[in-house]
Structure 1
Amino acid sequence: MVAHPGIEEKFVDEDEFMQLGSDALVEIVDGEIVEMHPAGGVHHFIGGNVHDPMKVFATKHQLGFVFMDGLLFHLFREGKRLKGARVPDVSFIRRDRIPKDWDIEKPFPGAPTLAVEVMSPDDDSEDVLKKVREYLAAGTEEVWVIYPKQREVHQFLHDNKHITTYTDGDDVIVSTALAGFSMALREIFALPSFE
């Protein structure tokens, strides 16, 4: 985050924020609490398609932990003052990045190793790109942005200035943050039939 001289930065007090409760669908953006909107079925099916094999892989190889939509990450803070906190749709935290004193009843004190965002019809592209930039600035190594309507995945890497775009079909996305993990896009976009 960039500080601008003469402009007072906004923060949210951590204790006040925690009083909102774990049921609150909120993030902290530029020091302000922003309400998140519930997502539809496509969003959750696709998130599950990524989460489930990622969790099996990470667990089998004892690489770390994979979380489904809901874990809040404190990305930017000064003591108990929060400037940025985000909730990815799917996230992976490598084992060596987890503080030994992390109280798992509370948000994660840092950035995920890998964050996955599934675009919903009401998501604004600029807001999602801002979220990607925040993840990477906070230390996230890799971000996937999944576009269900276009059937594309954009992969952003922390140490790389370009975006890799994968399109539906036989393309396979290979993770660098979760070493050895890959997924075919047809698996990501598979939706159930209700007939």
Structure 2
Amino acid sequence: MAELLTPTLTLPQFLQQPETKPANEYINGEIVQKPMPKGRHSRLQGKLCATINQVSEEGKIAYAFPELRCSFGTRSIVPDVSVFRWDRIPFTSEGEVPDNFNIPPDWIVEILSPEQRPNKVLSNILYCLNQGSNLGWFIDPDDLSILCLMPQQQPVICQGDVVLPVLRDINLTLTVNQVFSWLKMV
């Protein structure tokens, strides 16, 4: 389970603190430490970022960042995968990726770890959707399901050969089975 640390800081004060491993998040005035990613989590996260970036980076459509701190509104979170449309990446004046992202991702992906409470993880996805994100995936490796969330719509639990929703303009067709097949490496 994620460790709840003593909450005594404001969001700006929290952002002045040194980064930790695993990352701390600032949620509703509380500092919560994320669990350390394990094998299945890392594999799904890495493959998903690589797959999205393979079809969207060259055309400057979008980019998937792993473990990127996003601070906006009243939260500072570190989603497992944050996908930003290219035109929303806050590049520096030199055209480089900045260190700080103060906007919600267009697409947030969270992968449930055994130590996490599902509703705490889902609350970050829902918060992002309320702040302007277009899509959220909640991946449950134990259940072999992906809960897909979009603003103003009912969540949909996807399993098997269901094709998953992705951001508009990203030329990617993935089924739930394809995502979980990445866990088999032999």
TM bucket (normalised to shorter chain) is 0.7 to 0.9
**1:115–1:161 CA distance, 2 compared to 1 (3 A):** same
- Counterpart selection for 1:148 from 136, 141, 152: 141
Q: Distance in 2 between matches of 1:64 and 1:176?
A: 9
Q: Which has the larger radius of gyration?
A: 1
Q: What SS class does the counterpart of residue 187 from structure 1 fall into?
A: helix
May I ask how many residue pairs the two structures share in their alignment? 176
Cα RMSD of the aligned pairs, angstroms, is 2.3
Partner residue in 2 for 1:121: 114
**1:149–1:128 CA distance, 2 compared to 1 (3 A):** same
TM-superposed CA distance for 1:26, in Å, is 0.8
Q: Distance in 2 between matches of 1:16 and 1:119?
A: 25
Output the TM-score relative to the length of structure 2.
0.83
Listed one character per residue, the Cα deviations across residues 92-150 of structure 1 (whole Å, up to 9, x for unaligned) are 11122233558845230110010111111111121122112111111111000111011
Listed one character per residue, the Cα deviations across residues 23-58 of structure 1 (whole Å, up to 9, x for unaligned) are 561111012222112021011111122111101111
Q: Which runs of 5+ in 2 are unaligned?
A: 1-7
TM-superposed CA distance for 1:188, in Å, is 0.9
Greater share of strand: 1
- Decide whether the 8 Å contact of 1:153 with 1:167 is kept in 2: yes
Partner residue in 1 for 2:5: none
Q: What SS class does the counterpart of residue 158 from structure 2 fall into?
A: strand
- Decide whether the 8 Å contact of 1:114 with 1:177 is kept in 2: no
Q: Distance in 1 between matches of 2:116 and 2:50?
A: 24
Q: What SS class does the counterpart of residue 34 from structure 1 fall into?
A: strand
Is 1:45 matched up with 2:38? no
Q: Percent identity?
A: 22
- Counterpart selection for 2:171 from 180, 184, 193: 180
Partner residue in 2 for 1:5: none
Q: Distance in 2 between matches of 1:100 and 1:51?
A: 19
Q: Which runs of 5+ in 1 are unaligned?
A: 1-9, 77-82
Partner residue in 1 for 2:84: 93
- Decide whether the 8 Å contact of 2:129 with 2:135 is kept in 1: yes
Q: How does 1:1-195 map to 2 (within 5 A)?
A: 12-14=10-12, 17-21=15-19, 23=21, 25-68=23-66, 70-76=67-73, 83-101=74-92, 104-158=97-151, 160-168=152-160, 170-177=161-168, 179-190=170-181, 191-193=183-185
Output the TM-score relative to the length of structure 1.
0.80
Q: What SS class does the counterpart of residue 174 from structure 2 fall into?
A: strand
